[in-house]
Amino acid sequence: MKNQHAFILVCFCSGLFITWRTCHLTFQQVRQETTGSLMLRRQLCERLRAKYASIKAIKLTTQFSNDMKELMSCPWKTNITHKERYRVELYSSCNATDELILTKQNTFLGQNVTYDGERRIRVVDKSMLKMLPESTPWRTGGLLGRCAVVGNGGILKNSSCGSMINKADFVIRFNLAPIILSEDIGVKTSLITANPSQIKRSYPNMKKHRHRLANHLSLYGDAPLLMPAFAYRLCTGISFQVHQALLPLRPQQKVVFFNPNYLRELHHYWRQRGQRAFRLSTGLMLASVALELCEEVHLYGFWPFSVDLSQQKLSHHYYDNVGPRHRAHSMPREFLQLLKMHSMGAINLHIGKCQ
């Protein structure tokens, strides 16, 4: 009887050992397979980054869409060397830090302001100088932290990027884009731009429509309104009218004007790097500003194609399907530049769903 109990105990313990040994091998195999999968994943991400950091042209194909899906699912890695190289180059070439807008610090009475879009000069008089802020209204010293540059592309719809955008320290929006679909585009705004032609279409009589314009701008809080007053002659009058109309209604919301010298130098900077379009888009302009002024740059709503990564049709904007009246910009070529900078770790480009 005693020997029988000993035999049973030995068998029981042997069974436990075999079961433990089997499980232990299984855990090791799983760990090895997981480690192998992670290594393969990292290698795929590195190959994609290398590919799109040096690619010369892009075309919307199934392979490109699949690559973008994979690249967007790769953990983004900042590269301080590349990021700082762009910051230093942009500062030394264009200097958004001090010259992005016209201020009383960089503009003086009697100065000649040369338009960046045509051969025209305007002499700074007292009434114009009075419109200019003392200094750049959003500068507090140092870099602006994490910045979100929010484009208007239809790719933003159903992106769930709103909460990520709202967490940014500084949020830039374009062309009076409506604050709708907050779960996708967020609500926070630190700087908003307006195109004078857009103002002319939507508010043809500034005296009559100034309250409607003021109500629209209230959606952006007290964010300064940035306008290209000295791109073309027609832009000047419209920009000045906006400034004069809003001053008594929303004095806390500054209307500021692009410095045409800055835009001219920025155009030259990107032209040397392959951007041959007649004029840079507002998106590339402000992404460049963010590269110089911000510690970290995140771009949303930048996508130049009419279908998404799953080949589903997109509207031109997240709020309408109205395309540009003329092709002054080269959006695919600009996007290629942004994609290169993303792959190099200089900016973080978000396409599709936010992770």
Q: Summarize pLDDT for 127-150 with one digit per residue, the tens.
A: 999 999 999 988 766 789 999 999
Burial code (b: 16+ CB inside 10 Å, e: under 16) for 19-43 equals: eeeeeeeeeeeeeeeeeeeeeeeee
Q: What's the pTM?
A: 0.87
pLDDT per residue rounded down to tens, the chain (355 residues): 444 444 333 343 444 343 434 444 454 554 555 666 778 888 999 999 999 999 988 888 999 999 999 999 999 989 999 999 999 999 999 999 999 999 999 999 999 999 999 999 999 999 999 999 999 988 766 789 999 999 999 999 999 999 999 999 999 999 999 999 899 999 999 999 999 999 999 999 998 999 999 999 999 999 999 999 999 999 999 999 999 999 999 999 999 999 999 999 999 999 999 888 888 999 999 999 999 999 999 999 999 998 999 889 999 888 888 776 656 657 889 999 999 999 999 999 999 899 6
Q: Which of 243, 329, 342, 350 is catalytic?
A: 329
Beta-sheet strands, E only, within the chain:
112-114, 121-123, 146-150, 170-173, 191-193, 225-227, 255-257, 296-300, 348-350
Confirm whether 329 is a catalytic residue.
yes
Measured between alpha carbons, how far is 189 from 225 in angstroms, rounded to an integer?
Answer: 11
- Cα 18 from Cα 31, distance rounded (Å): 20
Burial class (CB in 10 A: 0-12, 13-18, 19+), 75: exposed
E strand or H helix at 319, and its extent? none
